[in-house]
Structure 1
């Protein structure tokens, strides 16, 4: 089952829903913004309470 995470693009500021697999905990990957198509670096971690914590950054800041 996929988790829906609302994120804000670090490039254009648009807010959109990203789908994250629970198995992605403790991973990093790149996904393009749905609005401006710039590459967003996703940093996915277990939040310690059974959910996911997702941090996003510009790919060139990583």
Structure 2
């Protein structure tokens, strides 16, 4: 099952939309390019399995 969530680019601060695979577990991390500035962001995704609330933190990929 997939859903979408917003995150802010670590480089330019713009809002991005990402698809989250809920079946991949409650803690995930992966790299996704910003849809605005094209820089790579490391996304740290946490999913509350009871409420399906999604929290995303980002940082620069070095």
Same fold, TM exceeding 0.5? yes
Q: CA RMSD in A?
A: 2.1
Stretches (4+) displaced over 4 A: none
Task: Kindly provide the CA deviation profile for residues 5-46 of structure 1, in whole angstroms up to 9, marking residues without a partner as x.
Answer: 011112101112111110233221111111111111111222
Show structure 2 runs of 5+ residues with no match: none
Aligned to 2:21: 21
Q: How does 1:1-62 map to 2 (within 5 A)?
A: 1-24=1-24, 25-60=26-61
Q: Tell me the TM-score normalised to structure 2 length.
A: 0.73
Show structure 1 runs of 5+ residues with no match: none
Q: Which structure has greater strand proportion?
A: 2
Instruction: State the number of aligned residues.
Output: 61
